[in-house]
Amino acid sequence: MAITLICPDKDPNPWIKALKALDPDLDIRIWPDDTPREDVELALTWAHPKGVLKAYPGLRCISSMGAGVDHLLSDPDLPRDVPLVRLKDKELVKDMAEFLLLSVLFYFRQFDLYQQAQSEGKWMPMPPLEKKDLPVGIMGMGQLGATAADSLKTSGFSVAGWKRTPASDGTIDLYIGDGQLQAFLARTRILICLLPLTDQTRDILNRDCFDRLPKGALLINAARGGHLNEKDLIDALDQGQLSGAILDVFKTEPLPAGHPFWSHPKIRITPHVSSQTKPSSVAPQVLENLRRLRQGLPLLNPVSLDNGY
Nearest C-alpha neighbor of 136 from the set 191, 193, 97: 191
Half-sphere exposure of 238 toward its Cβ, with a 13 Å CA cutoff?
A: 11
* Site track 66-105 with ligand NDP (rule: CB under 6 A), x = hit: xxx-----------------------x-------------
Q: Which is nearer to ligand OXD, 68 or 140 (CB)?
A: 68
In the complex, least distance from residue 65 CB atom to ligand OXD, rounded to whole angstroms? 7
Q: In angstroms, what is the minimal distance from the CB of 306 to ligand NDP?
A: 12
One residue of 37, 71, 131, 164 binding ligand NDP per CB under 6 A: 164
Helix (H) or strand (E) holding 40: strand 40-45
DSSP string, 173-214: EEEETGGGHHHHHHT-SEEEE-----TTTTT-BSHHHHHHSP
- Contact residues for ligand OXD (CB under 6 A)? 66-68, 277
Q: Which residue is nearest to ligand NDP (CB)?
A: 142
Q: Using CB positions, name the residue nearest to ligand OXD.
A: 66
CA 80 to chain centre: 23
DSSP state of 25: T
Neighbours of 157 (CB within 10 A): 20
Distance of closest approach, residue 171 Cβ to ligand NDP, in angstroms: 16
Contact partner, 147, from ligand NDP, ligand OXD, none, Cβ < 5-8 Å per class: none
224 noted as active-site residue: yes
**Beta-carbon contacts of residue 138 (< 8 Å; ≥ 6 apart):** 145, 148, 149, 159, 160, 161, 162, 192, 194
Question: Could you say whether residue 18 binds ligand NDP (CB under 6 A)?
Answer: no
Out of 40, 72, 136, 194, the residue judged to bind ligand NDP by CB under 6 A: 194
First to last CA, the chain: 28
Closest CB to ligand NDP among residues 57, 254: 254
Catalytic residue among 272, 291, 292, 294: 272
Active-site pick, 29, 224, 227, 268: 224
Query: Is 29 among the residues known to form the active site?
Result: no
Q: Is 176 exposed, middle or buried (0-12, 13-18, 19+ CB in 10 A)?
A: middle
Which residues, in sequence order, are bridge partners of residue 267?
A: 245
Positions touching ligand NDP (CB under 6 A) are 66-68, 92, 140-145, 162-165, 194-198, 200-201, 222-224, 248-249, 272, 274-275, 309
